[in-house]
Homo-oligomer: A and B are copies of this chain.
Amino acid sequence: MLEELRVVLFRPKYPENIGSVARACLNMGVSNLVVVAPCGFNMEKALPLATVHARHVLESATIVETLAQAVDGCTAVFGTTARTGGWRKGILTPDSLAGVVDERLRGGGRVALVFGPEDKGLTNEETALCSGLMTIPTSQEGTSLNLAQAVVVVLYECFKRSLDTPFVPGGPPEERPATVQEQETMFHNFQETLLAINFLKDDNPDYWMLPVRRFFSKINLRRNEFNLLMGISRQVQWFVKTYGPGVKK
């Protein structure tokens, strides 16, 4: 049920936590663990925490260099954060996240849950890659959870949800969801287009793209929709190249 759920640890500092997370994954039926640029990964320190039962989860974990690599092939990425202020709208709780994840997985998607480093959590740079953000409710006296404990709470909610109703394959297959990579391709293409028509200004276009990104990240974009939007965006670019300022007639 959670076969297509991927747990991504972003720059974890302590190998013991990676081991603990592997065990939590096993408990909650997740076998797909990816670690991004860990600080001094050490299997000897990680293994005892994984216990012999989750050894295979730990040993088959993939270690990559960047978050983009870690979420490659995923159709939705959810980041965890303890910071819920400012512009961070529509932050999910573990149980509302579990509902969204369940829906995405049943729709044929592949979902990544991203957890930041123990001390600092995810920064805006990483959360920009996320389709949504989630926070675990805590007492105000202690808002910082142990990494593996945060993982187990979130996976527990996802696992619980996956048990709620038996898995029933849908009718005719919907178009497959667009991958995160396709979504990024689209954002870049859109950004170029919006720059070309002077909708975005040259200074800090990434920042001004945020509302566009936020808008699209709430949509479970399908492959055919990706094609549609890319087609429109390319056509605008063609138009600008053909008729835009600086083109001689």
> Which A residues lie at the B interface, using CB under 8 A?
20, 23-24, 26-29, 49, 51, 53-54, 84-95, 135-139, 141-146, 148-149, 152-153, 156, 159-160, 163, 167-172, 174, 194, 197-199, 211-212, 215, 218-219, 224-225, 228-229, 231-232, 235-236, 238-240, 243-245, 247, 249
Contact = CB atoms under 8 A, between A and B. Distances in A.
A90 B174 contact: yes
Contact of A240 (B85, B174, B239): B239
A23 B142 contact: yes
Nearest to A92: B169
A105 to B, nearest CB: 15
Given A152-B153, A171-B88, A211-B224, A139 B28 contact: yes
Number of copies: 2
A59 B23 CA distance: 28
Contacts of A148: 146, 149
Contacts of A87: 171
A177 B163 CA distance: 32
